[in-house]
Amino acid sequence: MASKVIYQMRSTIAQYSLFLCLLSVTSCDVTEPDNCAAENQYPTSLAILSATDKQNLQTRFDALSNGQLCAHKFNSYGVIEQAGICRLAGIMTRGSEDSMVVLAKEFVVRLGIFTNASDTSMLVVERRAGIGITTERMLVVFKNQMYQGLEVEDTEISVWLYADGARAIHGGWEAEIIIPDCAFITEEDAKYAALGTEIKYWSWGEPSTIIVSLENLQVGATMVVVPVIKDEKKELRLAWRFYVAFGWYLYIDVLDGAVLRTDQLWVS
């Protein structure tokens, strides 16, 4: 809540400064969002890894795993992809779920040069698949990364644990995130920037469209960091995240009000 108030104050100050400039007979300079972003080297921009860099990353991972982990690969931006089926190691012990969660946290941090997580206290469990009578593995999913009080989208980390320990992982946090010292548009401005956006999707094998309106745009938005793929680069941008009925997230850029992306929260 405090961070949201600060953002709104920044925006209000910037708008008031612009108003004074318009009233003044003399010229004055107002920092434009583009100039502010450039001065802050915003946004963080990650290029696709070269074949050599990707292979070097894979070699380092394989050396660290020492044959004890499942086969893993990396995506184009260096994030661990889901491993294939691992060899099983027997039935897991019931009642050991809590200790397995601890083991999963330690596993994520041990692979910190690949996951970018360095402190187990920062890892918060999103969900876990408990151990049953004949379970041979357990899943622990950690929530998205939090950075300066902001949720970073697409950074969940999932760990598969077996009777002989944690051996599979995918996902990861972002190593570098830039929060610019700019005047952000208010949540209200972002809401009106979202109106009229067309969300196209397939439903029951046929194309459908949702037009964002005041009726289907839920009141209240959250400021988040969201990855956007642009010109074969992954940019980490600040956005107002709105919920659109029935089951969509819509992301509006906090600097210029542009629609950055839409996420479907259900499978059609």
Asked if residue 43 has a cis previous peptide bond (ω within 30° of 0), the answer is yes
Q: Are 145 and 173 in contact (CB under 8 A)?
A: yes
Q: Percent of the chain having pLDDT more than 90?
A: 67
| Lowest-confidence pick of 52-61, 89-98, 134-143 | 89-98
Per-residue confidence (pLDDT) for residue 20, from 0 to 100: 32
Q: Does 30 have pLDDT greater than 60?
A: no
CA distance 169 to 158: 6
Burial class, 225, CB count within 10 angstroms (exposed 0-12 / middle 13-18 / buried 19+): buried
More confident site: 15 or 215: 215
Per-residue confidence (pLDDT) for residue 98, from 0 to 100: 93
Amino acid letter, 58: Q
Token pair 């509006």: residue: 252
In DSSP notation, 157-197 reads EEEEEETTEEEEEEE---S-------PPPPHHHHHHHHTT-
Q: Does 151 have pLDDT greater than 90?
A: yes
Q: Are 214 and 195 in contact (CB under 8 A)?
A: yes
Q: Which residues contact 123 (CB under 8 A, 6 or more apart)?
A: 105, 108, 109, 117, 142, 157
Q: Does 16 have pLDDT greater than 80?
A: no
Per-residue confidence (pLDDT) for residue 145, from 0 to 100: 98
Amino acid letter, 213: S
Q: Does 2 have pLDDT greater than 80?
A: no
Q: Does 93 have pLDDT greater than 90?
A: no
Which DSSP state fits 107? H
Per-residue confidence (pLDDT) for residue 32, from 0 to 100: 61
Q: Convert the pLDDT of each residue in 31-62 to its tens digit.
A: 466 789 999 999 999 999 999 999 999 999 99
Q: Which residues contact 49 (CB under 8 A, 6 or more apart)?
A: 57, 74, 76, 77, 78
Both tokens assigned to 210: 């949702």
Per-residue confidence (pLDDT) for residue 266, from 0 to 100: 77
Q: Does 21 have pLDDT greater than 90?
A: no
With vertex at residue 247, the alpha carbon angle to CA 241 and CA 253, rounded to the nearest 5 degrees, is 20
Q: What is the mean pLDDT of residues 173-200?
A: 95
Q: Does 4 have pLDDT greater than 80?
A: no
CA distance 257 to 184: 9
Q: Are 144 and 156 in contact (CB under 8 A)?
A: yes
Q: Does 139 have pLDDT greater than 80?
A: yes
Per-residue confidence band for 22, with pLDDT thresholds at 50, 70 and 90: very low
Residue 47: phi and psi, rounded to 5, are -85, 155
Both tokens assigned to 219: 């009141």
CA 216 to chain centre: 24
Burial class, 43, CB count within 10 angstroms (exposed 0-12 / middle 13-18 / buried 19+): buried
Residue 18's SS3 state is helix
